[in-house]
Amino acid sequence: MTRLARSLYPAPWRYSFDWYPSGSPWRACHCLELPFVLGTDTAWAAAPMLGGGRPPALVAEVRGHWIDFIRHGDPGWAAGTTHHFTR
């Protein structure tokens, strides 16, 4: 069954969102990447999981990859591998 699925469907793109603010009790928690894709600094200002802010360079990187995937069907890294967002 696995071989059949692999022959019919392309390998997935995976990512791991590993960034978290220093001292965070939640570390890289579930859905932490959403503020890096959606909204503004003002919209996420009170989010305790961000520890007071989002690194602008990481926001640009995450949004760029998501936009590439939406527009071109390719986020910019090899299918079947895992990209780590860490800055």
Whether 65 and 83 have beta carbons less than 8 Å apart is answered as yes
- For the question of whether the overall pTM of this predicted structure is more than 0.95, the answer is no
Quick one: pLDDT at residue 39? 92
pLDDT(83) > 90: yes
Quick one: pLDDT at residue 14? 95
For 57-76, what is each residue's pLDDT tens digit? Answer: 999 999 999 999 999 999 99
The burial of 48, by beta-carbon neighbours within 10 Å (0-12 exposed, 13-18 middle, 19 or more buried), is given as exposed
Please name the amino acid found at residue 32: L
For 18-63, what is each residue's pLDDT tens digit? Answer: 999 999 999 999 999 999 999 999 999 999 999 988 999 999 999 9
Residue 5 binned pLDDT confidence (cut-offs 50, 70, 90): confident
